[in-house]
Structure 1
Amino acid sequence: MAAAHQPLPTALDRIRVGSAPDSWGVWFPDDARQVPWRRFLDEVAEAGYAWIELGPYGYLPTDPARLTDETARRGLTVSAGTVFTALHRGPAVWDATWRHVAQVAELTRAMGARHLVVIPAFWRDDKTAELIESPELTSAQWRDLATGMERLAHQVRETYGLEIVVHPHADTHIDGEANVARFLDATDPDLVRLCLDTGHYAYCGGDSVKLIETYGDRIGYLHLKQVDPAILATVVEQGVPFGPAVQRGVMCEPPAGVPALEPVLTAAQGLGIDLFAIVEQDMYPCPPDQPFPIAQRTRRYLRGCGA
């Protein structure tokens, strides 16, 4: 009797897989504990990825001609830039926010990318993890956040031809299911879509497949990430801030964690649109030799999922 054949994974032909400096332990433009940018570019290409994000502005070269040369000769293409905003603080922060956004958007457009990933401000200090403002927004702050993000989306589109995708993130005001739903319901779907980060959403108690099924028309971009459920349970129980939680290994290599990525990718494929799915495994800080073999194994795993 012939041996039974395992079914081949469904081809995820609408999913464009890439990686990012974050998967190499890069959180800041310049930090002695981070992998140098040339090594990141060499290794991300060798690991089998064709798409990358810019990471924190200033980590990769900011001269478009130089960056184009560096990426092109490695067979890499930029999928998005990333900006940080604190729009819940109201109109007073607009000018400073736009200066930062314009700088990143200019480079993003010059590199041929179409997306700008927008991360809300942390309510903890990103280096010391100290509490710097309330984890809860007032009704007025929610209005400022929603209207500010719509204004940002409109101006980025009109000025640079880019689309923003807002990234729910641990230790920010747009984090788990309730706050993500509140944010989406308060913003114009023609202007504001999400970058669904599967790891951050799971970290905050959310179900990525449910979010895709409920708000499919608002999903514009993916970050692929998993959390270690045992470490997460301890982190939640002890109230550990996100930065120290990362140092404990709360974000882990797939397929060891949650959520399972195959159902997420299948649900995303079902949306019928082209989506970037950028691997991000938060590991700051990490030994310089740690990221590359993980990146290789993760790329093989995602190919096995059909991506």
Structure 2
Amino acid sequence: MTHVLDRIRVGSAPDSWGVWFPDDPRQVPWPRFLDEVAEAGYSWIELGPYGYLPTDPARLTDEVARRGLKVSAGTVFTGLHRGPDVWDSTWEHVARVAALTRDMGARHLVVIPSFWRDDRTAEILEPPELTAAQWTHLARGMERLGHEVRERYGLDIVVHPHADTHIDTAAHVERFLDATDPARVNLCLDTGHYAYCGGDSVRLIETYGERIGYLHLKQVDPGILADVVANGVAFGPAVARGVMCEPPHGVPDLEPVLAAAQKLGVDLFAIVEQDMYPCEPDRPLPVAVRTRRFLRSCGA
């Protein structure tokens, strides 16, 4: 064991059980997810898509507590680059998720930008590059979101760079960070998405360490990724091909990422998210058990 990662709090998420939607017959039922995530040795979870887990705080508190689990974050989806006109509809979605996240004792809200390419059909919805005006809308909108979420719900937002969104590559991530106020907006660094889009997670942590507020741990299969990039495959179909693979068989190497995060000297969640939608219901648990064992071998 090369490092004792005492500042890293490891968890998992519905995503690692093939859950992408609030309700889908191909997904495992939520009680099974909770049972299995606890069985795999994790103590922290995320809420996943709003409506997948029970949304009544009293009921959900009981369900997670009796399995020895706690909630680290909720997740919201936003299209704030479209300007002030989308604020009200965005806030309606955010407020629902933020209230449940707060009521579960969590402190973070993971914010995912909207997709420029449809996750399932690969239809191009918008240009992949934002205009200067859209970058301004995105930056000011995220700052407003960070302010409102903290004022009303006591949560910190962490923006999640994501494949097929406008915050994806190293250049886009750095532009976004440079354009936003660190007091209001920080980053959820997803190691798999960042590698998928050509970024170096260790370098980002070492360069923008004060902006890293949260981690998602995943890896990509370089062989599948090369084919995905060469053929312009959308993210959803790429996941179905297995582009996100079980650690430690892909990139980036997670041990140096965790070591770099530990050196920041702050407490950080590191939530395992192996995108596996859709997947056979018996597949996630053995993967989760092996992944937890691997992370322990790294000191986490």
Other-structure match for 1:127:
120
Deviations 1:63-108 (A, max 9, x none): 0000000000000000000000000000000000000000000000
Corresponding residue to 2:145 among 144, 152, 169: 152
1:163 aligns to 2:156 (yes or no): yes
Deviation at 1:126, TM superposition (A): 2.6
Other-structure match for 1:49:
42
Query: What secondary structure, in the 3-state scheme, does the structure 2 residue paired with 1:117 have?
Result: strand
Tell me the distance in 1 between the aligned counterparts of 2:172 and 2:253. 23
Deviation at 1:40, TM superposition (A): 0.2
Q: TM-score of the superposition, structure 1-length normalised?
A: 0.97
Tell me the distance in 2 between the aligned counterparts of 1:127 and 1:35. 20
Other-structure match for 1:198:
191
Question: Which residues of 2 match residues 283-294 of structure 1 at below 5 A?
Answer: 283-294=276-287
Other-structure match for 1:298:
291
Deviation at 1:60, TM superposition (A): 0.2
Tell me the distance in 2 between the aligned counterparts of 1:129 and 1:288. 26
Deviation at 1:124, TM superposition (A): 1.6
Deviations 1:216-266 (A, max 9, x none): 000000000000001001111111111110011000000000000000000
1:71 aligns to 2:64 (yes or no): yes
Other-structure match for 2:236:
243
Deviation at 1:128, TM superposition (A): 2.0
Corresponding pairs, count: 300
Residue range with higher mean Cα deviation, 79-88 or 124-133: 124-133
| 8 Å contact from structure 2 (residues 122, 233) kept in 1 | no
Deviation at 1:58, TM superposition (A): 0.2
Question: Which residues of 2 match residues 24-63 of structure 1 at below 5 A?
Answer: 24-63=17-56
Question: Which residues of 2 match residues 6-21 of structure 1 at below 5 A?
Answer: 8-21=1-14
Query: What secondary structure, in the 3-state scheme, does the structure 2 residue paired with 1:113 have?
Result: coil
Tell me the distance in 1 between the aligned counterparts of 2:83 and 2:2. 47
Tell me the distance in 2 between the aligned counterparts of 1:288 and 1:109. 30
Other-structure match for 1:100:
93
Corresponding residue to 1:22 among 6, 11, 15: 15
Tell me the distance in 2 between the aligned counterparts of 1:235 and 1:125. 15
Tell me the distance in 2 between the aligned counterparts of 1:33 and 1:126. 17
Tell me the distance in 2 between the aligned counterparts of 1:30 and 1:128. 19
Tell me the distance in 1 between the aligned counterparts of 2:88 and 2:3. 47
Tell me the distance in 2 between the aligned counterparts of 1:233 and 1:74. 40
Deviation at 1:132, TM superposition (A): 1.0
Corresponding residue to 2:212 among 219, 222, 229: 219
Identity %: 81
Query: What secondary structure, in the 3-state scheme, does the structure 1 residue paired with 2:249 have?
Result: coil
| 8 Å contact from structure 2 (residues 120, 237) kept in 1 | no
Other-structure match for 1:3:
none
Query: What secondary structure, in the 3-state scheme, does the structure 1 residue paired with 2:158 have?
Result: strand
Tell me the distance in 2 between the aligned counterparts of 1:40 and 1:123. 30
Tell me the distance in 2 between the aligned counterparts of 1:257 and 1:125. 25
Tell me the distance in 1 between the aligned counterparts of 2:120 and 2:28. 18
Amino acid paired to 1:45 = A
1:115 aligns to 2:108 (yes or no): yes
| 8 Å contact from structure 2 (residues 45, 71) kept in 1 | yes
Tell me the distance in 2 between the aligned counterparts of 1:259 and 1:73. 35
Larger CA Rg, structure 1 vs 2: 1
Deviation at 1:10, TM superposition (A): 1.2
Tell me the distance in 1 between the aligned counterparts of 2:38 and 2:112. 26
Deviating above 4 A after TM superposition, structure 1's stretches of 4 or more consecutive aligned residues are: none
Amino acid paired to 2:175 = R
Q: TM-score of the superposition, structure 2-length normalised?
A: 0.99
Query: What secondary structure, in the 3-state scheme, does the structure 2 residue paired with 1:98 have?
Result: helix
Other-structure match for 2:134:
141
Amino acid paired to 1:43 = E
